[in-house]
Chains A and B, each alone.
Chain A
Amino acid sequence: MNYQVELFQSLLNNFLKGEEALMTIEGDVLAVRGSAPVSYGTLTTAATTVSKYLKLQEGDIALLNDPYSGGSLLSEMTFVMAVSEDLLWVVRRSLGHTVKFAKSVEEEGLRIPPMPLRQKGVINEMILSAMQAHPACPANFVQWLKDQVQDLAFQAKKLHEAIEYTGFTITGELIEEYLKLCKRFATQRISERASGETRVDVVLDSGELLRLNMEIQDGKISLDFGGTTSAKTVSLTESATYGVCFHTLSKFYGFEHIASSGSFGILQITKPAGCWLIGKYPAPTYKGMTCGVAALKTAIELALAQIHQKHEVSVTSHCALNFDLQYQDKHTHLTLPGGFGATGDNEGESARLSGVSVEQLERDFPVKVLRVDARNSSGGKGKYNGGRGLIMKLQARDEFQAAWMTDLTLHRPRLPKNCSYGDTCEVSLEQAGEQKALPVLGQQKFKKGDILSLCSGSGGGFGKEKILEKNIEQ
């Protein structure tokens, strides 16, 4: 059959769900899937790190969450499984999000370097006991890990059966052909559009500067971060930086679905030693993996908009508002995403909320939700308005503790002339009739009667406002 490549793609699409990657033992990346940009760099690094330190046999599983070994947030566990003699499967699963403020990665939670979790079909109980004894070990972690191992083994069995029952074989030639096709397609997509070079600066509130020089030429993209400063409080790992760069670019050009060693070939990145995009242990990574990622995406999108002036897009509010609510032994995490930037012919898409139940929130916590709506934005206006952010108003019915973090890039980067700024994230407190703005990140107790307003950012607008145009005509 000649359509082995199509069958192979179908296998990858069916097998890889969520944040996952499939690689050869030699290091060729066959596919990466996921919605988190960092996954496109960190998952493959995790597999490389595990291969360096552990010799995995077929069926063995290694575990890590250490950002400096290919992990992302400490609450996200990365499993590397040898699904055959020459294929490694990398899977990332989340334990749930929590806002973390710390001075080092060790304070952010339990850091797990690559560990052999399952060998020869047996779970390594000694390692599980050691992790459980750690004070920062999450509740029910060991059982959760055992469930994950069982599920991974089941999925791997399915993969074997699917290959067996269809008589399909993944040969070296097939991989070579597939990677070649991926590279050709990615190069073609870039070549079809404008080439050029530009520079973008983004300053973070904490003082870090992100300087990006982008050059697009002959179907290749080079990103030079020369001039980017060292970390003050925001730090991103090298693999996460790569992932964000590749994901943002591939999404723009429309080849994120063929992320592989082939398409990775279009990207070259240069970073100065010591800059915040190459975080070193023990720098904390939570802010980097959230706000740092948002700043990097914004910078790349702005650079792309400057080079591709015919397809200009205004700025999207990439950084969600993260809000942790704690009451007695209960904890919940709210994520309010921001709106999207407008384009030359369309309004920006407004933010949507998923997984939040107002009734459940009121049942579990001493809060009354007064309002959930699209935010009335003053920013992001234009011929086409930016997508609206969200507003959630909560009234405390008893004392509770909360921690929050919003966008850390309140210093506005320079925009293309057709674009306008959207509104930034805001958290404000109404206490005894007085309203005050709260800092971009913080944690405090709230008293009965306090009213909290959580607003996520809105997208930037595009073009001149219609009202202005009318006035000019008059």
Chain B
Amino acid sequence: MPKSFVLGVSVGESFAEYTLLANSKPVAQKRSYLLRENLKQSLQQFLSENSAHQPTTAFISLRLPKKLLNYHLSGAVAHITTEGFEHWLQLCEKGERLTSKDLLFSIHERILADGTVEVPLKCEELDPIIAKMQLMSCKKVCLHFLHAATNPAHVQLAKSYLEEKGLQVFTPEPSDTPHESTRWKRNALNATISNVLEDRKNEVLKALEGIVTEEEIHFVTSEGKFFKKDVSQNIGSQFAASTALGLQLGSPIKADVLYLGFENFVLISSHTWAQTWESPWGKIAVPHLSTKELSIQPTLGIALNVFQRFDFSNTQEGWEPGPMFLGRGQKPCLLDLWSENAKLNKLQALEDRSSATGIQRFKNSLVAIAKTSSARDMDLGHLTKEMQSLTLQRLAMEACMLRQSEKMIVAGPLASVFANAFKKDPHTTVHGSEFSESEATALFGIKALQESL
């Protein structure tokens, strides 16, 4: 009987990871640095290099490219709410705003808490709003009506009316969270990211064209749901990979998972579910395995603290342009401290990318910072070792204090580099696979598919 192969793809902000499984065991794996390689081409290349293991099914998790959101690349989104609540979302938001003031509209309609219609919706009242939207070249609209989950009559009526006029309409999904603003915010975010995520999805779909049939390509959410065209599930994919890691690696042995990835360090619970995500825009309804981002992160900047001593700043430099040792970064960051570490340089996606000029520039920048520090430690070798030691101890300390389970598994590509941090902890084990994220996505997908049948 011919073997069937399953493809697991995990796409983050700057890296993508691919795993081919046969009988739940990995047979081929690869990681791409998306700044240097195109997602579609690298996935196609991976599949052609492993043409002997052609997959029949694919499971994909997509993480939100937060930086792209800042530029509102998905275009303008209008919001229509029940009269009197035009600014309700903005009042509940914090920090970044998802909505533009000029695109907030309201309509005279009211449904009461028990679902009775107090003020019926008149579709013709939507016409002036549609006209204004057309003037502003806005083609996407969110409908946020009070108690629409109890009685969806108005929202359905308005949706079909607006769709008839050629607009793309986003409506909140009913969920377990009682707070309407978390549901509305999820809907608003889904609308905002729809174009960006659609582009990413299309890249994956095109790469798999002719290899996996479209019916067998599944974009996975943290709840184990599959989606392709349903935009209401877009944001559900944000925690799909971390939830998959928690369920696949942690749950069987009741251990929390410390994922040390290139993009972030997160602690994932094996059993505690969070209903909402504390996003930069406030709470958003996304059920997922509870995830805590550590204060120590792989691209955390190196700077002097308030006492004028060497420390880490609160800014993550990210992978665009990335750490200095790769040659393009301008600011020193945590991973630069390991720039001459053999294990780091052997990791896929980073191998052969280390630049001697970049390493020298990193050293020069350390000297420049040292000159203004209170310690004036100019011995770079000593300074680097001290900062490495601080990193490892902070990592071990935080992971220990934040975890909820007695046991912990350390996984991810950087697990081998930072494994020393956990040598005194008898309840922690380091997971061998460097590609645990895409592997877990595939296994999570297989299980979810079996359960759905």
A residues with a Cβ closer than 8 A to B are: 1-3, 5-7, 9-11, 13-15, 158-159, 161-162, 164-168, 181, 184-185, 255, 258, 351-354, 356-360, 362-363, 368-374, 390, 393
Contact = CB atoms under 8 A, between A and B. Distances in A.
Interface stretch (B23-31, B53-61, B86-94): B86-94
Interface string B96-130: 00000000000000001100000000000000000
Given A359-B113, A370-B84, A373-B87, A1 B390 contact: yes
B401 interface: yes
Given A162-B396, A258-B306, 12 more contacts: A2-B386, A6-B390, A11-B397, A13-B295, A164-B424, A351-B91, A352-B94, A358-B85, A362-B147, A372-B84, A372-B85, A374-B87
Interface stretch (B40-48, B175-183, B223-231, B254-262): B175-183
B407 interface: no
B389 interface: yes
Given A2-B375, A3-B387, A393-B84, A10 B394 contact: yes
A362 B113 contact: yes
Contact of B309 (A3, A166, A168, A352): A3
Given A358-B85, A373-B84, A161 B400 contact: yes
A198 B160 CA distance: 65
Contact of B307 (A5, A352, A353, A357): A5
Interface in B344-396: 375, 377, 386-387, 389-390, 393-394, 396
Contacts of B400: 158, 161-162, 165-166
A167 B424 contact: yes
B319 interface: no
A359 B146 contact: yes
Nearest to A390: B91
B93 A357 contact: no
A165 B401 contact: no
Given A14-B401, A185-B307, A1 B389 contact: yes
Size bracket of the B interface: 35 or more
B432 to A, nearest CB: 22
Contacts of A363: 113, 178
Contacts of B425: 161, 165
B68 interface: no
Interface string B405-439: 00000000000000000101100000000000000
Contact of B424 (A166, A184, A354): A166
A2 B94 CA distance: 38
B93 A352 contact: yes
A10 B295 contact: yes
Given A167-B424, A359-B113, A373-B84, A1 B386 contact: yes
Nearest to B84: A371
B310 interface: yes
A92 to B, nearest CB: 19
19 contacts: A1-B389, A1-B393, A3-B311, A6-B305, A6-B309, A6-B311, A11-B397, A162-B396, A165-B425, A185-B306, A185-B307, A352-B91, A352-B93, A359-B147, A363-B178, A370-B84, A372-B87, A372-B88, A390-B91
B84 A14 contact: no
Given A3-B386, A359-B178, A168 B92 contact: no
A371 B85 contact: yes
A400 to B, nearest CB: 14
Contacts of B390: 1, 3, 6-7
Contacts of B387: 3
A237 B137 CA distance: 59
Interface in B144-173: 146-147, 149
Given A3-B389, A159-B401, A354 B88 contact: no
B86 A373 contact: yes
A218 B52 CA distance: 77
B402 interface: yes
Nearest to B82: A358
Nearest to B93: A352
Contact of A10 (B85, B92, B398, B403): B398
Nearest to A178: B307
A353 B389 CA distance: 42
B306 A368 contact: no
A193 B154 CA distance: 58
Contacts of A373: 84-88, 91
Nearest to B389: A1
Contacts of A368: 112
Ranked nearest first, the 7 interchain pairs of A and B with the lowest CB-CB distance are A371-B84, A362-B113, A162-B400, A357-B179, A165-B425, A3-B390, A363-B113
Contacts of A371: 84-85
Contacts of A1: 386, 389-390, 393
Given A6-B311, A164-B424, A181-B307, A359 B180 contact: yes
B373 to A, nearest CB: 11
Contacts of A5: 307, 309
A390 B424 CA distance: 53
Contacts of B424: 164-167
Given A7-B390, A167-B424, A352-B94, A358 B305 contact: no
A166 to B, nearest CB: 5
A371 B311 CA distance: 48
A7 B178 contact: no
A374 B101 CA distance: 13
Contacts of A2: 375, 377, 386
Nearest to B311: A6
B397 A14 contact: yes
Contacts of B112: 362, 368
Nearest to A184: B307
A14 B375 CA distance: 25
Contact of B179 (A181, A360, A374): A360
Contacts of A166: 393, 396-397, 400, 424
Nearest to A254: B306
Contacts of B282: 354
Contacts of B311: 3, 6
Nearest to A371: B84
Nearest to B86: A373
